Amino acid sequence: MGSPTGRTLPFLLILLQIYLHGALSRATSPVGQRKPFFERLRRLEEQFQRFQEVTLTHLQGIASHYNLSFDVEARFQSLARESRAMALALNQSQAAMQGELGHLQTWVRRTQRRGQKVDRRLLALSAAVSEGSARCAREQETQRAAISGLARDVRALQDTLLHLTPLVQSQGARLAALEGQLRVASPSPAAPKVTLAPSRPWNRSAPQLQGGRQASRAPSEPRDPPLDFADRLQGAQEPVGLGKQQAWPPESPGEVCNVGPALIFPNASTANVGFLRPGFITGLRALSICSWVRTAAEHLGTLLSYATEENDNKLVLHGRDSLAPGSVHFVIGDPAFRELPLQPLLDGQWHHVCVIWTSILGRYWLHVDRRLVATGSRFREGYEIPPGGSLVLGQEQDCVGGGFDSSEAFVGSMAGLAIWDRVLVPGEISNLAMGKALPTGAILTLANATSVGGFVQRVNCTCLQLCP
């Protein structure tokens, strides 16, 4: 495509040639006619110069516009590159934002689940406090009634003594008269001598008489109810009491062997987990969980967690950093739980722990190193732990098989863990703690921990003291 200058210049040359040809043809005319010709030639030259200037200006404008269009094209390419870079950065930012939103949604769901757990536990605690208050009110009413009855008995006793005092005095006078008659009738020195104790004046506030009468009329102490089946299984150990706890000095076990495999949880990572498979095949109305445990952490963490689709806390033994050091929540069917004391377990030594529960009267027992540490009743009375859930060691589940939290992870070692669907008797617990034969009927042991994750190590120790 040619430029406008290339098209205009030939046209001007043709006009110039025509004009010169006319001028030469007129050269033969008189001198008077040459002056207008030169004048016209001069004007034509001036017009040609102006035309050249205009053409030059036009060409310069075209050149400047061409440079401008080149700059615009370069600018457009630069803008295109910048727009692509901005689009890439926007996509990366959108991906990062979506990731953050995903983490935030996961955190919100976990927080909501924990809030629901806390609400359920608060409701359970409120119900327990209300029940305790009602029980205390009933006991106070019973005590007030007993005190009123006792006061009535004391007043009746005082009235009776008031009526008996003249009779006693008259009988004393008659006995004195009889003694005098006997002395008169038999003055011999061999006659028996009757000595009467002097009668003391009756005092309405005499503690001896009142106390004796109270002892004679006081109702007999209420006997303990007969032991149920679970009590007979637990034997004649002295119970600690309903929901009561006692402290015990830590005991270092002797040489204990035949404890089976051990699992070592080196840190609080959420990847450190062990799965017991299969879980509970049938529903449980009683269970015993026993294991050797060693930890030196500031809190015990989660020993065991059983979750179903219905409830992620069907059975949990867990502690976390928000609880008192060594305290463990024993949960059956969240929100119901009992707090168990396991503070001496945080000394870095091996300890044998057994947690036992039965739905009969909701009785539960905690044995540590062959000692009964805590016991209680009315904990999930008549409840059945359903089958078909996920059973996990070392982590607390917020959903089936997942939702772990590092603040609830177990750090330490556990060995010889076993679960029974019945209540173990004290003799069996003692044998376990001394490394004797495993009681029959265990439904799950550490041999069922076929899947472990993270940095969990599975070791076989001939004796407990040789475990790492």
CATH number, residue 364: 2.60.120.200
Bigger pLDDT: 466 vs 13: 466
Look at residue 256 and tell me if it is in a domain: no
Same domain for 160 and 267, yes or no, is no
Mean pLDDT of 374-397: 93
Q: Are residues 274 and 421 in the same domain?
A: yes
CB 413, CB 327: distance < 8 Å: no
The least confident of 25-29, 135-139, 281-285 is: 25-29
140 and 268 in a common domain:
no
Quick one: pLDDT at residue 225? 38
Q: Which residue has the higher pLDDT, 224 or 435?
A: 435
Residues 307 and 435 in one domain: yes
Whether 236 is in a domain gets the answer: no
Helix (H) or strand (E) holding 329: strand 327-332
Spatial CB neighbours of 160, under 8 Å, sequence gap ≥ 6: none
Closest CA to 202 of 255, 153, 246, 163: 163
Question: How far lies 2's CA from each of 5, 6, 7, 8, in Å?
Answer: 8, 6, 8, 11
d(CA 364, CA 286): 10
356 in a structural domain = yes
In a domain, 92, yes or no: yes
Residue 377 has a pLDDT of 93
Q: Do 308 and 401 sit in the same domain of this protein?
A: yes
Place of tokens 């404008």: 61
Count of the separate structural domains present in the chain: 2
| 418 found inside a domain | yes
Distance CA 132, CA 234 (A): 27
Give the end of a domain, one of 149, 177, 205.
177
| Residue 387 domain flag | yes
To the nearest 10 degrees (0 to 180), the angle between helices 207-217 and 34-185 is 110
pTM exceeds 0.75: no
| Residue 379 and residue 425 in contact, taking contact as beta carbons nearer than 8 Å | no
Is 6 part of any domain? no
Domain finish residue from 142, 160, 177:
177
* 450 and 303 fall within a common domain: yes
* Statement: residue 17 has pLDDT above 60: yes
Q: Which residue has the tokens 């703690």?
A: 433
pLDDT single digits (tens) 23-70: 565 555 555 555 787 888 888 888 888 888 888 888 887 777 776 667
Structural domain for 396, as ranges: 261-466
Structure-block tokens of residue 103: 């983490």
Percentage, residues of the chain above pLDDT 90: 28
- At residue 276, the pLDDT reads 92
- 164 and 282 inside one domain: no
Task: Output the pLDDT for position 226.
Answer: 39
Point out the domain boundary residue: 148, 177, 206: 177
Distance CA 394, CA 264 (A): 10
Same-domain pairing of 140 and 282: no
Contacts for 19-28: CB closer than 8 Å, 24+ residues apart: 19/44
* Residue 439 pLDDT greater than 50, yes or no: yes
- Examine the domain organization and report whether 265 and 173 are in the same domain: no
* 455 token code pair: 């940095």
Does 350 reside within a domain? yes
Report how far residue 459's alpha carbon sits from residue 365's, in angstroms, rounded to the nearest whole number: 30
Which of 276, 210, 211, 254 minimizes the C-alpha distance to 443?
A: 276
Same domain, 161 and 270: no
Among 4-18, 181-195, 273-287, 337-351, the minimum mean pLDDT is found in 181-195
Q: Residue 279's pLDDT band (boundaries 50, 70, 90)?
A: confident
7 pLDDT band, cuts 50/70/90, is low
